[in-house]
Amino acid sequence: MKKYKFLDKVKFPSDVRKLKLSELKVLSNEVREELIDAVSVTGGHLGAGLGVVELSVALHYVFDTPNDKLVWDVGHQSYPHKILTGRKEKIRTLRQGNGLSGFTKRSESEYDPFGAAHSSTSISAALGIATANKLSKKNDNVVAVIGDGAISAGMAYEAMNNAGTSKTKMIVILNDNDMSIAKPVGAMRTYLAKLFTGKMYFSFRETVKLIISSFSKRFSKKAGQAEDFFRSAVTGGTLFNSLGFYYVGPIDGHDIETLVSVLKNAKNSNFNGPIMIHIKTEKGKGYQFAEKSNDKFHGVSKFNVKTGVQQKSKATVPSYTKVFAETLIKHAERDSKIIGVTAAMPSGTGMDLFGKKFPERMYDVGIAEQHAVTFSGGLATEGYKPYAAIYSTFLQRAYDQVVHDIAIQSLPVRFAIDRAGLVGADGPTHAGSFDITFLSTLPNFVVMAASDESELVKMINTSVDINERPSAFRYPRGNGFGIILPDISEKIEIGKGRIIQEGKKIALINFGARLNECKIAAQNLEKKGLSITIVDARFCKPLDENLMWQVARNHEILISIEEGSIGGFGSHLSKFLSDKSLLEKIKFRSMILPDRFIEHNDPKKMYEEAGLDSQAIENKIYEIIDSKILAQKQN
């Protein structure tokens, strides 16, 4: 373990507050060094944390945390905060099984008052906490930290509008690093840039400071009034002022002394309402390889600190994401109506590849999933073929739009649902657990799940010609199996599954990426004399009723397997079997994700814990067979 002059003395923020102001810069450098070293071992989100080291130190120096509440948006930038709040000794367990979460988490520390892993929630949560304080007549401070990418989401504006009218004291820090995961897009980015380059405004602020410091306090109020008037006259009134915030900044977010001074002033302010402190930071600050990287080392695998070289996967087969992107590109070369849409995740969804090929036909709308869905709906009304590529976990944020703007109007938006199922180190907040259920309940929706990369290609091919209703195809994170990919002309008949192998008495009906686990279980069971049929359902909706009828009539035991919650494929199959009076004639079981959230771990271990691996499938069959034999004996 490295030895640090000040960081070794810091167990909790109270220790930070024992230091001199002049010592905070050294502490910040030590926190940054520890962060780089830790993430090089664990992998994780690095760039965002590097950009807020000084801010993290300053916040815990000025505010009496955990009594004062500090709410981080998303949580990507919370690693320095974790180092300073009693978790330094466990920082090298980040995102590992039984280790620290990669995000803020209430159950992990009293210094995490609100859990966050999806963006743009911090202002709403902080306002709720501040309102509770007001109702309880508590004077604790509440601070929210939100990035310039996250503040582009509509929820942030809903919160600011409410905060401004509520006259509730709270502090919002806008961490403007000109970069979320990808480059931020839209008018907000331009607006912030104009504020930052307002030289005339800066010079007047400095004049006001001089007036306040040079003359007696009786001039301070008038100086403040003059500043407000000048700010309004020059900028036309900032957006934040219009929303009821007192706006301060932009200031250098890496100048620790200035940060401390401004934060103290905000803390001690008599302003009856929310304060917005706009700071400029550099994502990846202090680590040359992150500073030079296009994404500023936003998310990294394990890496060599000295060279910045990340450990690359040794897999020789492409990822599902890449298969999706390359297949869509092939179709777009033939069909000019195909449009790509993503919500601030171009590289994560493969839309960056599509955008390079068709820059005029790829739209990154920023962190705005609701808008992405309805925007796609608008495109569809005019005969275009929008592909909304959104992670399963993020599509949850736009469910009302999926229902109201797409499904009810039966608009042919194609949803490419990446990261379906359990996703590993990002844990339950990013798991794709619910999309099968929430999409397959919607009338007229086509819901598909790929069991391998070849099936994914066929489903994309099929979706191109679904022009009368919405459709979705889901696929997991990670790499495929190295299967030879079909031509883009090879399609699937809507609502038709396939039989992988035929056996007797026992049938496994797979929906999604557990097909290989079904094959492994079947091989092991066959060694013990059990003959297994395997079916790849392909469609949850419309269900292949003819195939399901055939399988149910010819087998004694049916088990459905899916990477989703209750209410999904198994529930639809169960209803069909019940409606056809088949449930009383067979033994049917549905294997789904358990009714709890699975904590972050290696994906293989997560599926073992969830009871969706090959061994669990075998055990389920043994359980049914034993219970059947027992019932026969009792009769």
Mean of all residue pLDDT scores within the chain: 88
Q: Which CATH number goes with the domain that contains 371? A: 3.40.50.970
pLDDT-based confidence at residue 229 (cuts at 50, 70, 90): very low
User: Mind listing the pLDDT tens digit for each residue in 583-627?
Assistant: 988 999 999 999 999 999 999 999 999 999 999 999 999 999 876
Same domain, 461 and 514: no
User: Is 66 within 8 Å of 15 (Cβ atoms)?
Assistant: no
Same domain, 359 and 260: no
Q: Within a domain: residue 522? A: yes
Q: Within a domain: residue 29? A: no
Same domain, 393 and 244: no
Strands 532-536 and 498-501: antiparallel
User: Mind listing the pLDDT tens digit for each residue in 431-455?
Assistant: 999 999 999 999 999 999 999 999 9
Same domain, 234 and 177: yes
Q: Within a domain: residue 344? A: yes
What are the catalytic residues?
A: 283, 369, 397
Q: Within a domain: residue 326? A: yes
Give yes or no for residue 40 having a pLDDT over 60.
Answer: yes
Q: Within a domain: residue 426? A: yes
Last residue of a domain, one of 427, 442, 474: 474
User: Mind listing the pLDDT tens digit for each residue in 15-25?
Assistant: 999 999 999 99
pLDDT of 364 reads 95
Q: Which residues contact 204 (CB under 8 A, 6 or more apart)?
A: 227, 230, 234
pLDDT-based confidence at residue 199 (cuts at 50, 70, 90): very low
C-alpha distances out from residue 519 to 450, 484, 522, 531, 618, Å: 15, 19, 5, 12, 11
Same domain, 527 and 463: no
Give yes or no for residue 34 having a pLDDT over 70.
Answer: yes
Average pLDDT of span 310-323: 85
Q: How many CB atoms lie within 10 A of CB 37?
A: 14
Total number of domains constituting the chain: 3
pLDDT-based confidence at residue 94 (cuts at 50, 70, 90): confident
pLDDT of 57 reads 96
pLDDT of 189 reads 52
Same domain, 519 and 439: no
Same domain, 618 and 528: yes
Same domain, 609 and 520: yes
Residue ranges of alpha helices (H) inside 433-507 are: 435-440, 453-464
Q: Within a domain: residue 224? A: yes
Its domain, for residue 345, covers 320-474
pLDDT-based confidence at residue 95 (cuts at 50, 70, 90): confident
Residue ranges of alpha helices (H) inside 382-471 are: 392-395, 399-401, 435-440, 453-464
Q: Within a domain: residue 122? A: yes
User: Mind listing the pLDDT tens digit for each residue in 358-401?
Assistant: 999 999 998 999 999 999 999 999 999 999 999 999 999 999 99
Same domain, 400 and 465: yes
Give yes or no for residue 630 having a pLDDT over 80.
Answer: no
pLDDT greater at residue 268 or residue 509? 509
Give yes or no for residue 179 having a pLDDT over 70.
Answer: no
Same domain, 467 and 514: no
Same domain, 406 and 372: yes
Same domain, 615 and 511: yes
Q: What's the predicted TM-score (pTM) here?
A: 0.85
User: Is 393 within 8 Å of 432 (Cβ atoms)?
Assistant: yes
Q: Within a domain: residue 384? A: yes
